[in-house]
Amino acid sequence: MEAAALGAQGLQVSRMGLGCMGMSEFYGQTHESESLETLHRALELGITFFDTADIYGFDEHGMGANERLVGKGLKPHRSSVQIATKFGVLRSATQHLGLSGMPEYVKEACEACLRRLGTDYIDLYYCHRADPKVPIAETVGAMAELVKEGKVRYLGLSEVTPEQLAAAHAVHPISAVQTEYSLWSREPELDILNACRELGVGFVPYSPLGRGFLTGTITSRSELTADDWRMQNPRFTDAAFEQNLRIVHGIQQLAEAKSVTPAQLALAWVLAQGQDIVPIPGTKRVKYLEQNVAALSIKFTPDELARLNELAPVGATFGSRY
């Protein structure tokens, strides 16, 4: 597994990470044993970069089920992996409660993350969403204190504007920005991706497979369970399905010509956008994990890249992301 640098502060991660959210919530039924097996297989395949958040999943202990799972699975390997987690979104088991970037909350949230992960430091600590009521400089100032205390090693931001990134980076170097980026979510190319590159900030795409849609394995809403978060997503409505399947059909045709899966093709496209880009495709199954890692070996001709860019230009996807 090739290594990649996120930012200019020294954070080194595997060229591909693993998004762990779906192991605990959002995409149908979960099984801890299966998820732990997937975490361990990821380590065998050379993945060292694991992504979670405090709001991913609830269990008998309350919020943070995914952090507890990740901490449990990676504990024997803690010194050789990089764990990224996030704070800032407030929720209960059933509803969104708002955002908080208050300095005192930043520190409270970090202590809770450390307890759930069972570790004494977080490799990459993200502000999950910027709180509009709090200047981002104040939030990042509190995050910077955590770095000084040795509880956090590197700082990140998720879903921010170029202006917010610049304001944050002026307070403390930001190592990574995380946002959705794929063949059906190319909006980062309009602003934040260039802003990251100007400042030397790494870029971490989540949902690089379009929340599973670009794999070609989902052809109708009827295939999703009632508790699947995608049932409420605008891009998964009946009308959106028909519009967006044309992108998938194009991906399928090119994937067949290259003897790879549509998922591998879509993931390889993200990887081809730059060495400063480290995608974190999420899965809870070993089979899909292994297929995703195999995408690292796929190369494109200029003509193939041109065809993919023409197939799914910025704004081509029907429906908003949230």
Tell me whether residue 185 is in a domain: yes
Highest mean pLDDT among 52-61, 203-212, 292-301: 292-301
Mean pLDDT value across residues 44-56: 97
What's the pLDDT at 232?
A: 83
Q: How far apart are CA 304 and CA 200, in angstroms?
A: 29
pLDDT exceeds 70 at position 145? yes
Q: What is the pLDDT of residues 162-206, one digit of tens each?
A: 999 999 999 999 999 999 999 989 999 999 999 999 999 999 999
Beta-carbon contacts of residue 211 (< 8 Å; ≥ 6 apart): 230, 233, 235, 236
Q: What is the mean pLDDT of residues 310-322?
A: 86
* Cβ atoms within 10 Å of 219's Cβ, excluding its own: 11
Share of the chain above pLDDT 90, in %: 77
* Residues 98-128 pLDDT 10s: 999 999 999 999 999 999 999 999 999 999 9
Instruction: Give the count of domains, the chain.
Output: 1
Instruction: Inform me whether the pLDDT recorded for 315 exceeds 90.
Output: no
Tokens coding 272: 């081809």
pLDDT of residue 318: 79
Q: Is residue 259 part of a domain?
A: no
Range of the domain at 95: 3-210+271-298
pLDDT confidence tier of residue 97, bands split at 50, 70 and 90: confident
Give me the pLDDT at residue 316, please.
84
Percent of the chain at pLDDT exceeding 70:
99
CATH number of 153's domain: 3.20.20.100
Mean pLDDT of the chain: 94
pLDDT in tens, 228-272: 878 888 888 888 888 888 889 999 999 999 999 999 999 999 999
In a domain, 284, yes or no: yes
Average pLDDT over residues 117-142: 98
Residue 317: pLDDT band with limits 50, 70, 90: confident
pLDDT score of 20 more than 90 = yes
pTM of the full structure:
0.92
Q: What order do you get walking across the sheet with 202-206 strand by strand?
A: 18-19, 49-51, 82-87, 122-127, 152-158, 176-180, 202-206
Helix then strand then coil, in percent of the chain rounded to 5, is 45, 20, 35
CB 41 within 8 A of CB 77: no
Would 7 be classed as within a structural domain?
yes
Residue 25 inside a domain? The answer is yes
With cut-offs at 50, 70 and 90, classify the pLDDT of residue 294: very high
The answer to whether 210 and 282 have CB atoms below 8 angstroms apart is no
Q: Is residue 237 part of a domain?
A: no
User: Does residue 48 sit within a domain?
Assistant: yes
Residues with catalytic roles: 56
AA letter at 196: C
pLDDT score of 28 more than 70 = no
Residue 27 resides in a domain: yes
